[in-house]
Amino acid sequence: MVWQRSGTVAVQNGSSTVIGTNVDFAASSRIGDSFIGPDGVNYELANVASSTVISILPAYKGATASGAAYAIMPVQGYDKMLSDAFNNLNNQFGPKLAALGTTGNYDILPVLKGGTGNTVSLKTGAYADLVGSASSGAIFETGTNANGSYVRFADGTQICFGVVSRSCAATNALGSLFYGYANSITFPAGFAGVPAFSCQSFSAGVITWDGSGGSTASIGVPLIISTASLAARTYTCNYIALGKWK
């Protein structure tokens, strides 16, 4: 096993502290090694305080000196290579592992705390991280107003849906049936282009189509067929529109 002799040391008579220059005590020595001082006496290495400071036992007996030669002799009876490897790992990762103690107690460190795992359920805390303004980077955005509800996704997809009541006259003959055009449905959020649209009436005696004359903000729907000519007919339908918001 290789002795350590690089650099120089400063020692003081009666002191157990040894200060090195151009040395790396932490990387290549351990407690229990033998320190051979400038006075030629063997001392026990009692503590490795840092890469440049060690303590010896007993206190230094020779004359005070600086810039002096020395040697650290590995002591037989332990695996020096294994110990040195552990010291290298400790020097490299020890401060990082210690710093994790300030982030809290986690089995898996969440991403927001600097980790690579996340144990937060999508049904709880992660919801706040996913939902927001899609145009500002959230995964999806939701909203509701007098015209219905919408879901807006970060990839540009948008879905609008709602339940509306409309009234129209069914006085246009179509064989033995009659039809008319209701007022348009305004979307709760605008589209970048005319969306795909579908609606369905759940009022008795009313059948609806998927509309016509649509725009990015509304669509002239629904169409209605009645079993008799009516001056006015009020009915309720649900609708869904699918398209792009950007």
Sign of CA pseudo-dihedral 230, 232, 235, 239: positive
State the DSSP code for 86: H
Mean pLDDT of 131-158: 87
Q: What is the pLDDT of residues 90-107, one digit of tens each?
A: 888 887 777 666 655 556
Mean pLDDT of 113-135: 59
**Those residues with Cβ within 8 angstroms of residue 79's Cβ, 6 or more apart along the chain or in another chain:** none
Is the domain covering 134-244 a CATH 2.60.40 domain?
A: yes
What is the per-residue pLDDT for 125? 47
- Domains of the chain, by residue range, sit at 8-78, 134-244
Chain centroid, CA 236 distance in Å: 44
Mean pLDDT of 198-221: 78
Which amino acid is present at 93? Answer: F
Res. 36: pLDDT tops 50: yes
Res. 122: pLDDT tops 50: no
What is the per-residue pLDDT for 127? 53
What is the per-residue pLDDT for 129? 60
Share of the chain above pLDDT 70, in %: 80
Residue 184 tokens, joined: 């348009």
Question: What is the rounded distance in angstroms from the CA atom of residue 23 to the CA atom of residue 153?
Answer: 59
Q: Are 124 and 115 in contact (CB under 8 A)?
A: no
Largest CA distance in the chain: 123
Q: What is the pLDDT of residues 42-90, one digit of tens each?
A: 999 999 999 999 999 999 999 999 999 999 998 765 566 677 778 888 8
The count of other CB atoms within 10 Å of the CB of residue 58 is 11
Q: What are the two backbone dihedrals, phi and then psi, of residue 228, each rounded to the nearest 5 degrees? A: -150, 155
What is the per-residue pLDDT for 27? 85
What is the per-residue pLDDT for 120? 47
Q: Mean of the per-residue pLDDT values for the chain? A: 82
Residue 184: exposed, middle, or buried by beta-carbon count in 10 A (0-12, 13-18, 19+)? middle
Q: Are 152 and 245 in contact (CB under 8 A)?
A: yes
What is the per-residue pLDDT for 210? 66
Residue 17: exposed, middle, or buried by beta-carbon count in 10 A (0-12, 13-18, 19+)? middle
Helix (H, G, I), strand (E, B) or coil at 46: strand
Q: Which of 47-61, 131-145, 186-200 has the highest mean pLDDT?
A: 47-61
Question: What is the rounded distance in angstroms from the CA atom of residue 163 to the CA atom of residue 191?
Answer: 19
Statement: the pTM of the whole predicted model exceeds 0.95: no
What is the per-residue pLDDT for 80? 63
Question: What is the rounded distance in angstroms from the CA atom of residue 237 to the CA atom of residue 197?
Answer: 13
Question: What is the rounded distance in angstroms from the CA atom of residue 67 to the CA atom of residue 125?
Answer: 60
